[in-house]
Amino acid sequence: MQRNVRKIVLVFTVLLLAGLAGLFLAIAEFNRNYESQLESLGKMQQRLRLLEKELDLRNHQLKDYEITRYRVQAFARRYPLFDRIARVVYEKSREYGFHPRLVMGVIQVESAFNPKAVSNRGAYGLMQVNLSVWKDELKIDRSRIFDIEYNIDLGLKILKRYSLVAKGNIQRALHLYNNGYKYNNTGYVLRVNSVLFDSDVNQLSRFNLTHSPVIHPGRIQQSQ
């Protein structure tokens, strides 16, 4: 009788220990899963905070874009001629491989953005193209000399030739554009430089010749 009781107690003890071991293993597995879920939750919360910051940044950028767009539209309505010049300069500058700010600087110095400007040396339009020098070389249509797109295109063809002659030296190209080979007009370069906002001619000295039309150096404009 005592042996049977001992066996029962032993079996019960073994089962109890096995149950406790299983319970401890289950608790340990639960803790591991819980810690893993906490880690995943922490990563998700960190990602969420990053997304919130990015969304906030995007909202600020969108607001800045809307403000800029509004200001551009308001400016274009108030100054439609200047807006048109700026748009043409941007497109033509990319076509010929010049920085738009450089071209705007040249136009401001040459004509003060007056499409009808005429010099006492026979230079016409925004970029003061010397008609007597270039009329045959570029086959200039005199009836279009004051046209904004046409005049800027002619001016950039001339400046491109000078940039090739000057081997990409923008200061030398500007000397040639203003004076031909007569002399180095450092004052002209300084005047162009003074209207280039936060840049200078040295920073705009690289010409994107790869994507520019092939224009061979031709006859050089002697004066404007």
Q: Read off the pLDDT band of 135 (50, 70, 90).
A: very high
Q: pLDDT at residue 149 above 80?
A: yes
Q: pLDDT at residue 211 above 60?
A: no
Write down the pTM of the prediction: 0.66
pLDDT of residue 202: 58
Please state the rounded mean pLDDT for residues 133-149.
94
Q: pLDDT at residue 19 above 80?
A: no
Between 41-45, 71-75, 91-95, 217-221, the lowest mean confidence (pLDDT) is in 217-221
Long-range contacts of 173-179 (CB under 8 A, 24+ apart): 174/106, 174/201, 176/220, 176/221, 177/106, 177/221, 177/224, 178/224, 179/222, 179/223, 179/224
Percent over 70 (pLDDT), the chain: 75
Q: Read off the pLDDT band of 217 (50, 70, 90).
A: very low
Decide which of 10 and 222 is more confident: 10
- Output the CA angle 139-141-147, nearest 5 degrees: 130
Percent over 90 (pLDDT), the chain: 38
- According to CATH, the topology of domain 84-211 is Lysozyme (1.10.530)
Give the pLDDT confidence of 82-111 residue by residue, as tens digits: 999 999 999 999 999 999 989 999 999 999
Please state the rounded mean pLDDT for residues 187-210.
60
pLDDT of residue 84: 95
